[in-house]
Amino acid sequence: MSQAVIQLLRQKFGAAIVETHAQFGDDTAVVESSKWLEIATFLKNDPACAFEMLSDLSAVDYPERTPRLEVVAHLYSLTKGHRVRIKTRVGDEEGEGAEIDTVVGLWGTANWLERECFDMFGVNFRGHPDLRRILMYPEFQGHPLRKDYPAEKAQPLVAYRTDEEAGMSIDKQAPFGPHEGMSFARNDWTKRAEDAN
């Protein structure tokens, strides 16, 4: 049935369907980024498709390719029992300018999924109601899941906050000691390891 959906997309959107393929039983359509929302709307609302559920949305970084980032959405039809994957390619060779329309108006689950994609990859979702970081703290610089992000990069330190300012206890919880946990902005890894012993 998913192959019938792919054929329907080709008939309805023509050249906006850049390519299609099937791998491990997953039928996929790569679509023009300018048609992302229109195609998603069709897949949800057309009775032959009826994709009521967005089960996942993320991105993949291809540093050797332009456009560099690929946004991927996995759709499932609860009434028909079929699934399909749609992808679109965005961003320049550095991954900058990666921007597409939000699908939050179609599927509520897109709200947090798009925020994670924005936080980890830097994809901007036009029209998102609350597009801000969801996993990293607001001062974090860069996008950790881009394949060119250096693991040893020091991040800006957040000014010390009291429990009252934070609105919660900020002491390390057991089993962590005061020098354990995330290593942001630790430039001397060996010294820290020796201090802990």
Is the confidence at residue 193, as pLDDT, over 60?
no
Q: Is 196 helix (H, G, I), strand (E, B) or coil?
A: helix
CA torsion angle 84 57 13 49 (round to 10): 40
Is the confidence at residue 114, as pLDDT, over 60?
yes
Tell me the domains of the chain and their CATH numbers.
2-136 (3.30.460.80), 150-197 (no CATH)
Report the pLDDT averaged over residues 86-107: 96
CA distance 53 to 34: 22
Average pLDDT across the chain, whole number: 87
Maximum mean pLDDT: which of 54-63, 131-140, 173-182, 183-192 = 54-63
Is the confidence at residue 110, as pLDDT, over 90?
yes
- Report the pLDDT value the prediction gives residue 173, as an integer from 0 to 100: 57
Beta bridge partners of 172: none
Q: How many residues comprise the chain? A: 197
- Report the pLDDT value the prediction gives residue 150, as an integer from 0 to 100: 84
Instruction: Quote the DSSP letter at residue 2.
Output: H
Of the pLDDT bands very low, low, confident and very high (cuts 50, 70, 90), residue 111 is very high
Strands 99-101 and 124-126: parallel
pLDDT > 70 in the chain, percent:
82
Of the pLDDT bands very low, low, confident and very high (cuts 50, 70, 90), residue 154 is confident
Instruction: Quote the DSSP letter at residue 134.
Output: S
End-to-end alpha carbon distance in the chain = 60
The residue among 109, 103, 108 whose CA lies nearest residue 71 is 103
**154 or 158: which leads in pLDDT:** 154
Condensed to tens digits (0 to 9), the pLDDT of residues 47-74 reads: 999 999 999 999 999 999 999 999 999 9
Of the pLDDT bands very low, low, confident and very high (cuts 50, 70, 90), residue 105 is very high
**190 or 70: which leads in pLDDT:** 70
